[in-house]
Amino acid sequence: MKRVTLLALATALPSMALAEAHMAGEGPAVSYGQRPAYLIDKMEDGELKQKLMSCEGQTPQRTAFSIGHRGAPLMFPEHTVQSNLAAARQGAGILECDVTFTADHELVCRHAQNDLHTTTDILVTDLAGKCTTPFSPAGEGTEAAAECRTSDLTLAEFRELSPKMDAANKAATTAEEYQGGTADWRTDLYVDGAELMTHAESIELFDSLGADFTPELKSASVEMPHDGFSQEDYAQKLIDEYKAAEIDPSRVWAQSFNLDDVKYWIENEPEFGAQAVYLDDRYEAEDDDEGLIDPNDPATFKPTMQELADMGVNYIAPPMWMLVTLDEAGEIVPSAYAEEAKAAGLNLITWTLERSGPLAGGGGWYFQSVTDAIDDDGDYYELLDVLAQDVGVAGVFSDWPASVTYYANCMGL
């Protein structure tokens, strides 16, 4: 009995010390784990591999170059306390809460307002009846489907949910079966006990972890204004929660795909607007839309990079593939988009490393402009090196921040 007591005490002490460090804003100790070394081992022999191997014994340090994308969702349920703890322990100096709102207009961390059916257990709870579109089973020629929004629930109801890995079994015939579908290169190992967060709670947590903040104002799935809650109210409430927590604006990079949100912050909250990030998604426009961007044709950049800068935009954040292309020798090099952005004095942040899983098949969506050069997991570092050294990005979102942290520490970023 005495041995058990002593063991319990010894086990508790590190947690107590960690909690005290969190309260002091120092953050947890940083550890790389196994993945960076695994990726380096997979690289082709060369100068970059040798450089990264030479840093194996370095002491890990937190870095703002490494940004936790929804925490560390390669292995942990996204936007949970545990996912962000993991990201902080991997050295992410900036953490993300994607912000949406509930039926009573409280701000919570979710990647989309309408993702509760794939990121929580709502369909197997008593709250399933509140979903915008109830669960329907797979049938002949049809997939299982549902749509559940945070705006379907009050904050109190949202808190009743349990998070899970973002996935769905589209062949499911029951709501219980629909809970599956996690990609085989992810895991459900860390789902048990994961905790959802409000935006205000994320601010408190990230601050205690010694990290800075990059909240993203997500597009609403409901028509705006929503019960008198306008888009401007929404954008302002996000900033107000940092003010209430007395967070210095220099620690906040508020993001939005909606340029009007960014302009609102620039005009109405200039201290926060100075670091507001325009998530440029004009690559998703239709082929007949004049806004469609070809990352290698500056004539398609409307508004131009200089026009964005003249609006007061200082940061833009396109996906990785927009910033790179292949030269005639098949080497990864900066795209015209990247060159024009830098020429206009815009700071670049990009997303999302390690969201593609194994790269043997070319990397998929996030690597689409350089697919012919991608055939191995070691190429994560090949691309990251071009983004950091040649494109000159200020930070990189990652689903497993340790890999970016290792690179940034090794290169002195």
Helix, strand, coil percentages for the chain (3-state, nearest 5): 40, 15, 45
* Predicted pLDDT at 292: 83
Last residue of a domain, one of 143, 174, 194: 194
- Alpha carbon distance 408, 71 (integer Å): 18
Going by the DSSP 8-state scheme, the letter that residue 88 receives in this structure is: H
Res. 329: pLDDT tops 60:
yes
Last residue of a domain, one of 152, 179, 194: 194
* Predicted pLDDT at 230: 98
Last residue of a domain, one of 194, 221, 256: 194
Res. 372: pLDDT tops 70:
yes
Rg (CA), the chain: 22
How far, in whole angstroms, is CA 145 from its chain's centroid?
25
Question: pLDDT tens digits, residue range 165-176?
Answer: 999 999 999 999
Amino acid letter for position 9: L
* Predicted pLDDT at 88: 98
CATH number, domain with residue 328? 3.20.20.190
* Predicted pLDDT at 7: 27
* Predicted pLDDT at 376: 96
Are residue 203 and residue 68 in the same domain, yes or no?
Answer: yes
DSSP states along 258-288: -HHHHHHHHHH-HHHHTT-EE---GGGS-TT
- Alpha carbon distance 393, 390 (integer Å): 9
* Predicted pLDDT at 17: 37
* Predicted pLDDT at 284: 80
Are residue 134 and residue 257 in the same domain, yes or no?
Answer: no
Contact 218, 113 (CB under 8 A): yes
Strand partners, 63: 92
In a domain, 5, yes or no: no
Average pLDDT in the chain = 93
Q: In the predicted model, what is the mean pLDDT of residues 61-83?
A: 98
Task: Say whether 322 sits in a helix, a strand or coil.
Answer: helix
Going by the DSSP 8-state scheme, the letter that residue 353 receives in this structure is: E
Q: In the predicted model, what is the mean pLDDT of residues 6-27?
A: 40
Are residue 387 and residue 266 in the same domain, yes or no?
Answer: yes
Task: Say whether 30 sits in a helix, a strand or coil.
Answer: coil
* First and final C-alpha spacing in the chain: 50
* Predicted pLDDT at 291: 64
* Predicted pLDDT at 8: 32
Res. 27: pLDDT tops 50:
yes
Are residue 241 and residue 368 in the same domain, yes or no?
Answer: yes
Strand partners, 147: 133
Which residue segment(s) compose the domain that 266 sits in? 22-97+197-411
Contact 351, 319 (CB under 8 A): yes
Res. 6: pLDDT tops 50:
no
Least confidently predicted of 25-29, 42-46, 130-134, 209-213: 25-29
Are residue 281 and residue 393 in the same domain, yes or no?
Answer: yes
In a domain, 106, yes or no: no
Are residue 328 and residue 381 in the same domain, yes or no?
Answer: yes
Are residue 208 and residue 190 in the same domain, yes or no?
Answer: no
Least confidently predicted of 21-35, 79-93, 139-153, 313-327: 21-35
Q: In the predicted model, what is the mean pLDDT of residues 196-216?
A: 98
Are residue 82 and residue 205 in the same domain, yes or no?
Answer: yes
Structure tokens at 268: 């109405």
State the pTM of this model. Answer: 0.93
* Residue 69: closest CA among 379, 366, 410: 366
* Predicted pLDDT at 14: 33
Tally of domains within the chain:
2
Are residue 205 and residue 184 in the same domain, yes or no?
Answer: no
* Predicted pLDDT at 289: 55
Are residue 244 and residue 323 in the same domain, yes or no?
Answer: yes
Of 2 and 379, the one with more pLDDT: 379
Contact 83, 71 (CB under 8 A): yes
Question: pLDDT tens digits, residue range 259-305?
Answer: 999 999 999 999 999 999 999 999 885 545 556 899 999 999 999 99
High-pLDDT (> 90) share of the chain, %: 91
Are residue 207 and residue 186 in the same domain, yes or no?
Answer: no
Are residue 252 and residue 332 in the same domain, yes or no?
Answer: yes
> Which H helix or E strand runs over 177?
helix 175-178
